Structure 1
Amino acid sequence: MITKIAQIEILPGQEDAFEKAVTEALPLFLAADGCDGVDLQRSVEHPSRYRLMVRWETVKHHTVTFRASDAFTRWRALAGPHFAAPPKVEHVYPVLAH
């Protein structure tokens, strides 16, 4: 299991619209092959900064399967207009769980 973490900067004043877009896109992620869950977190110090965390069975499920799907295209159509910059994305895996 890996987690994709996307740090997303949103255009100021569009935070509510972005959160609604992610809510609308949630079924797209959850129906995707290999997706095991989604979390969205908002920064306290930087209220226009979010971290979208999506749990995938493998990196390939995200980078190949999902990114080549119509669901990804729809996700970007919903959320992309609110982005202030391209998301910064990395994949992580647990090395210590407590």
Structure 2
Amino acid sequence: MITEVAILRIKRGTRQSFENAFNEAQSIIAAMDGYLHHELQRCIEEENKYLLLVQWQTLEDHVDGFRKHDAYKQWQALLHPFYDPAPVVEHFEKIY
């Protein structure tokens, strides 16, 4: 299992619209092969900052499965207009 970690910074004044779009987009990611779980957290100190955690069975499920799937275009259309700047996505594996 791996965890995808993304810090999402969104444009000011778009918080509610972003959360509504994410509510719609989460069904896209949840339908992907290898998907296990996700959560979106809003930062307390910075209202336009979020933490997205997604657990996948393998790195390939995310990179090759989801990002190369046609459904990723819908994910992008829903969420990418809110990002400022584009998020950095990293992958982690549990040690303990």
Bin the TM-score by the shorter chain: over 0.9
1:92 and 2:89 aligned: no
1:26 and 2:47 aligned: no
1:7 and 2:43 aligned: no
CA offsets 1:12-52 (integer angstroms, 9 cap, x no match): 11011111111101111111000001100011111101111
Distance in 2 of aligned mates of 1:12 and 1:91: 27
TM-score (norm 1): 0.94
In the comparison of the two structures, how many residue pairs are matched?
A: 96
Percent identity over the alignment is 38
Distance in 2 of aligned mates of 1:69 and 1:88: 20
Give the Å deviation of 1:91. 0.4
CA RMSD, 1 decimal: 0.8
1:62 and 2:24 aligned: no
Amino acid at match of 1:82: F
Match of 1:78 in 2: 78
Distance in 1 of aligned mates of 2:4 and 2:47: 21
Structure 2 gaps of 5+ residues are none
Question: Match of 2:13, SS?
Answer: coil
Distance in 2 of aligned mates of 1:20 and 1:70: 22
